[in-house]
Amino acid sequence: MNIAIILSGGVGTRMGEACPKQYIKVADKPIINYCVKTFCNNPRIDKIVICLADEWRAFVEESLKDIVTTQSIIYSKPGRTRQFTIYNALEKLESIGIASDDVVIIHDAARPLVSQQLIDVCLDENRVCDGVLPVIPMKDTIYMSHDGKNIDALLDRNTLFAGQAPESFVFGKYLQAHRDMPEERLEKINGSTEIAQIAGMNIHLIEGDSMNMKITTPEDLSTFATLIQEKSNNDSL
């Protein structure tokens, strides 16, 4: 079984909006709807967990009413950090009897342009490893500076990659990685794959998708809105 976990608990402070970025409407649809619809349309996804605050649940449920899906949608509460939100979702899945060898595929609601191909490649690769991380090679020259003013080192960009979502993991091993980590250390985890790597899980890198942008700033939102408008114009031709 493959279960998608959609993280939608963030508040999006860098957007400068009163509304969290994943609930801002683009072409009359909240941003979260775009990725949820993609996962709903993938026949390999059996269940979907949406992690969100209680005050947004009714809004999301109403906005998703027009999405036709055969999967059951489960709701889970956010934690105090992104990784605790994931932990909450994992424990929710355990409580409903998800098997240890099932796969969870974790995605950010603020990445609305995830493709079916990237989802499928994650699931395919996860058959031969414990977890999968899509990455994009670094194109720019990368400098390291501890104070933001002076250069400490020039890094080899050929060995550096930017991680993306979705990230997929064998459920039982990934849940155990969370249980084995002290809470104070778990609180400092920055990415879904970091805890798996620390736990010694076998993680494979796959090629990411440059179109799989994350909406973080007003400029990102404007770019996404333009892409959606262009797609709408092309579809009407």
* Whole-number pLDDT of residue 11: 60
Distance in angstroms (rounded) separating the CA atoms of residues 97 and 93: 7
Instruction: Give the burial class of 220: count Cβ atoms within 10 A of its Cβ; 0-12 exposed, 13-18 middle, 19 or more buried.
Output: middle
CB contact at 8 A, 180 and 199: yes
* Whole-number pLDDT of residue 189: 95
Span 2-131+163-235 CATH architecture: Alpha-Beta Complex (3.90)
**Non-local CB neighbours of 81 within 8 Å, separated by 6+ positions:** 186, 187, 189
* Whole-number pLDDT of residue 237: 45
Residue that has been written with the tokens 């959609």 in this structure = 6
The 3 state secondary structure assigned to 20-48 is CHHHCEECCEEHHHHHHHHHHCCCCCCEE
Residues of the chain with confidence (pLDDT) below 50: 237
Q: Provide the whole-model pTM.
A: 0.93
